[in-house]
Chain A
Amino acid sequence: MKISTIKDLLDARIISGEDGLDADVCSACGSDMMSDVLAYVKDQAVLLTGLVNPQVIRTAEMMDMRCVVFVRSKLPSQDMIALARENGIVLLATGKRMYEACGILYSNGLRAEEAK
């Protein structure tokens, strides 16, 4: 699924990283606990979260993720945006809640990768 499709499905707006919208991603995960995200490393390229602090971007970077979607109308700070730009990570923001946002993406074919 293209990141631009995720944007459309979630009725999200682009915070930064317009250049990356064409990238293809094949799995995602949703969590507000970064340690849990780090615990189940696969090739998830998209993180959905309601957490807003620079460690969200660092976690995405450590996991080689391509896109972070902020749910529940949360907005990243300027230093988070700068950090994301530096690392080529697309930032999206949606008003949808976590459960709904994950459900929409899942039912449209963006799955969680099987645990190894």
Chain B
Amino acid sequence: MPEGITFRFEVDGSDFTSAGQASVQVKKNLRQLGIDPDIIRRVSIAMYEGEINMVIHANGGEASVTVTEEAVEIVLIDHGPGIKDLSLAMQEGFSTAPDNVRSLGFGAGMGLPNMKRYTDEMTVDSTVGVGTTVRMKVKL
């Protein structure tokens, strides 16, 4: 599979309880492809955190996951408010999430740091008022 297989998802930003459905599906798809369980766990946690971020901050967006012979690549695109200070957002414990999100078990300022922790490469392109694109790669 030289070009790899790509799975695409719409992330619904209106309903926090459904956040994570795309990650659950990715986990199933990767299992079917026979990917190593440890890799699957890293990919699905990174994507799950990304999905939660898109729902909390950006009213949803698009997610795609591409599997090649070398890696699993995740691209998350939203048209939300953008990230004002990326280095601050990357610090563990820094969060701009509203209190109601904290009562749901998220918004601890661990989302982006977790995504970085579980992937081999991560880039974040964000423009205030335009949106954010996160690209992550987990090597096989």
Q: How far is the CB of A40 from chain B (nearest CB, A)?
A: 10
Given A62-B27, A62-B45, A63-B41, decide whether A35 and B106 contact each other with a Cβ distance below 8 A: yes
Given A41-B118, A53-B17, A54-B17, decide whether A36 and B110 contact each other with a Cβ distance below 8 A: yes
Contacts of A39 in B (CB 8 A): 92, 110, 113-114, 117
A61 on interface, CB distance cutoff 8 Å: yes
- CB within 8 Å of B: which of A11-53? 32-36, 38-39, 41, 49, 51, 53
Given A51-B105, A55-B20, decide whether A35 and B49 contact each other with a Cβ distance below 8 A: yes
Main secondary structure of the interface of A (DSSP, over half): helix
Q: How many B residues, CB 8 Å from partner?
A: 29
Q: How many A residues, CB 8 Å from partner?
A: 21
Tell me, in angstroms, the Cα distance from A51 to B109 when the chains sit together: 18
A58 on interface, CB distance cutoff 8 Å: yes
B130 on interface, CB distance cutoff 8 Å: no
Binding site for B on A (CB under 8 A): 32-36, 38-39, 41, 49, 51, 53-56, 58-59, 61-64, 79
